[in-house]
Each structure stands twice: as C-alpha cells, then as structure tokens.
Structure 1
C-alpha cells in the first residue's frame, strides 16, 4: 500500500502562513491607475464649481425676491459688471499685487521670527512654560485690535501694516512649530543622540525635519492669519501715499456706499487667499507627506 504523502499542516502552521500572507499583502504597494492631468484637475474642480453655481443661484433668487433693497444687495450680474470693470481698468490687478507683496513679505518675516522663537521654546522648557500661554493668548486676539495701537506707534505707514501682520501671524507659526515638535517620536531623538547629533545639529538634522509635517499646518494657519491681519490693517490704515491694496478697495466701496464694489473686493480677497493655498501650500504639503509615506489613497 503506497504511503500517503499528503501532510496535514497543523493549525499553528496554517495560522502562521496565513499571517505571513496577510503581512505580505499589507506591504504590497497598491498602484492606483494613472489619470490624465485634465481628469485630475476636473475631478478637483467640478465640486467647487457646482457649489459656486448653487450659491449664485440662491443669491439671484434672494435678489429677485427683494429681501433687501438693491443698493444693499445687488444681483450677481451687477457685481459681475463691477468686477469686470475693476479688472479692465487695472484696479484689481494693482491692488492684488500690492496686497500680495505686503502679505508675502510680512509672512516671510513672521516665519523667521516664529521659527526662532519656536525653536527656543521647544528646547528651553522654562521659556515655554513662561510665555507659552501668552503666545496662545496672542493667537486668539483679533488682529484688528492691534491696528489702533500700531497707528499710534508708527502713524499711517507701511510699518503699521507690517506690525499688524507680524502680531497676527507669529503666534500661529510658533504654536504650529511646537505642535510639530511635540509629535516627533522620541525614538528619533534617541537615534540622533546615538549618532552624535548635539546642539544645533540635533535641531537642524533631527528635530526640524521630523517636525515638518506637523509644522506645515502651522504655516498654513500662519498665512491665513497674516492675510486676515493684512486686510484689517489696510481697511483702517488708508492714506494715498501708501497705495491701494485690496483692503483699501474694500473701504473705498464702503465710503462710496457701492455694495457691488464691496462684494467684488470681498471676492478678490477670497480668491487670492484660495489661490495661495492651492498653488503654494497644497503642493508643498503633498510633496512633504508623500516623501514620508504619509499620503493615503483616500485623499486621491
């Protein structure tokens, strides 16, 4: 009688093999089907376009219903006419460029100050305990509260505008950096110590790179606060020699009781803020997260 060569694996071996297969499946990279640039752009654009279309339709219905007088709530067509007008005469482009120049410079200086202060607080626990609550309190303070004080200190000048931007953005950047540092695994710091990273080398090559994904959120919030602070400063700090930024265009519409101009200026402020997010921060965040293997398929 021939010997039975079939071996029945024990339950333990079956479980181990199943576990191995499961782990191999987890490690196998899932390759998503490549989509064209047009398809990717369209999939990102159409939900926003649909929401915007619904908003404009509701706005038109409210306008037709006469809920508010026409001078207080113009229709979409009137605002579109005004918007095209400030585009054609160059007002929109010049105001946007001036505000972006101010906002960009103020944000860069805020990042430098915020990173230096954040590193000091992250590496000196006593300093963090001493001024940490003050930084959080400054972050919650409305930016417009600084404008009267800055006007008294610096007069109607660009220094006033930059001071308000810094006071609005720096606390968010500091707290963002501290949040990123708090999320660094202790193992990274121990490995850096074993490899001889001390002092500035430890900060430069271990702490800051490891904290970067969390710090990006602080940078985005810092830009949002810088942009909001800039608009608050431009609304109040209004002088011909300072030029006309988007905040000053908004204030001009208020002065002239031109609600179409007010809404057009609000749209421009909103559009510039969204453009910076989509063109600068979103690609930077995707690149950093992808480099660290943190980009999931759910967000694609």
Structure 2
C-alpha cells in the first residue's frame, strides 16, 4: 500500500504515462476516464494497479488494429475497478470465463490473454466480456481494495488497533508516508548502485511491456547500458555479438513466452555457448511450473518490483 493525497489524480497520472506509446499508434485513439473515482486521499496498492493496467493495455494493443482503447476507473464501497475497453477482435465466447487462467489456455487461445493470470493473482476479482454496444472488441476489468483516508481523524479511526503486514501503527497521513518508506528500506535495504556501467539485455516481444520494463530498470539502475531484443533468437544474437566484442552482457531479463524462440531456450543456449552464466539469467513469468528442470536461473513474476529492485541493486553486477 502507498499513500496518495488524491486517488483520482494518482490514477490519472498513472494512465497518462502510456500516452507516448499510443502517440505512435496512428489508427488507435487512447481514451482515459477517471470521472467516477474518488478524489480523496487513500492508501492504494500502486504496483499491483500499475502491473494490471500494463497487462490489460498490452493485451488490447495486440488485438486492436484501429479504433480506440479506453481505460476507465471508478470506485464503489472501498474498491477500485479499472477496465480496458478496445475495438479489437474480441474474445471467443467460450474463453470469456477462463481467459484469466494459466498457460494451457494461453497456448490454445492464439495468444489472447498473455499476462492475464497475473492480473487475476493481484486482484480481488476480474472480468472479461465482449462489447454490447454494437462495436467489435472486448472489455477486461479488475477490482482491487483500497483504504480511503478522509482526514487525519478518520485515518486514525481506520488504522487504530490495526497492524500492517509489516507491523506498526499508523496515526496520520504524514506518518503513513514515512512508515511505508521505512518499512521498505528495512525489508530490502538501501539500493547499492555501483558507478561502473554494466550491460543488461531485455527480451520482450510486447512493446508496452518492453517500454515499462526499460523504464523500471533505468529508474533502479540509471547507470546500466540496455540492449533490447523482441524474441529469443534476436536476444541470442545480441549475446553472441557482445561476447565477440569482449563486452559481455552482465544480466538477462527476459519474458518466457516469445515468438521464434522463448526466453528459456535462449538462456539455455546462451549458457551452453558460454555467452553468460546461468546465475545471470532472469525469466519473467507468472507460471514458473511451465519451465523445464534444466533452467537453474532466477524466475520472478513481472509484478514483483521489489525483487527486481533488490536484484538490480545488488553488488554482483
């Protein structure tokens, strides 16, 4: 949970960060509507909301060639609901109930729903339906609980006698900010960023996910030199080139599911060829059971920003 003095402003600022990406899409209008959301202070799971919106927007972009993609949010009874509505190809009716399930569904659905299992994991509830307004497309939504903060007094009433998962009472708005900052530092420590640049290879076929991953890496490790690949085959060629040039890649951050060659296959081939050590291979997936027993590197969920920060802030690179 993170404190914001305006839930409406926080959501508007969050969805506005994707505007540059949509500026590159000539045939798709990006619409944002937060008119039905509280403008009051609140404690919200910012990272979960961000990751969910990223997954829903990237899914919509994959299957929308023209028209519009709208992200809308509203609040009701202590819950925040965000929905992404597109004018894409829609979802087969027999998949609307199971679209948020795991890898077996994703393989049989032609790529629809990649990343959606993590949305379900991070949410109180999820929903998928096709549009009912005569237009093609689908609507994906998720609901997350939050804590409203009306004033110092009411905030104290909410928090009094309660312990957060990290422990400790929170009595007012300013102490909330200090509390969560202190709690994070106690759990993960201060980032230890070395001055010497190191090279990171990012492999991700989804443009939105790549943009967000790159921004996250740059924020945590501004000194890192980033190479990017859209699939495992391209990533393997990057690794070969850097090795030949005697400028080896220090860390691979790769998606698992990619066309041509998946992230696991790329890592296994790279290790076998001596391009990188297995310990420097990190695969993003919400379904670690899908990987083979041959992969001995790190596996983390894309939504796990805390682990990514700890990894990039370590001194091993």
TM over 0.5: no
Q: TM-score range by the shorter chain?
A: under 0.3
Q: As a proportion of its length, which structure holds more strand?
A: 2
TM-score normalised by the chain length of structure 2: 0.22
* Rg (Cα) greater in structure: 1
TM-score normalised by the chain length of structure 1: 0.23
Q: As a proportion of its length, which structure holds more helix?
A: 1
Structure ranking higher on relative contact order (CA contacts 8 Å, 6+ apart): 1
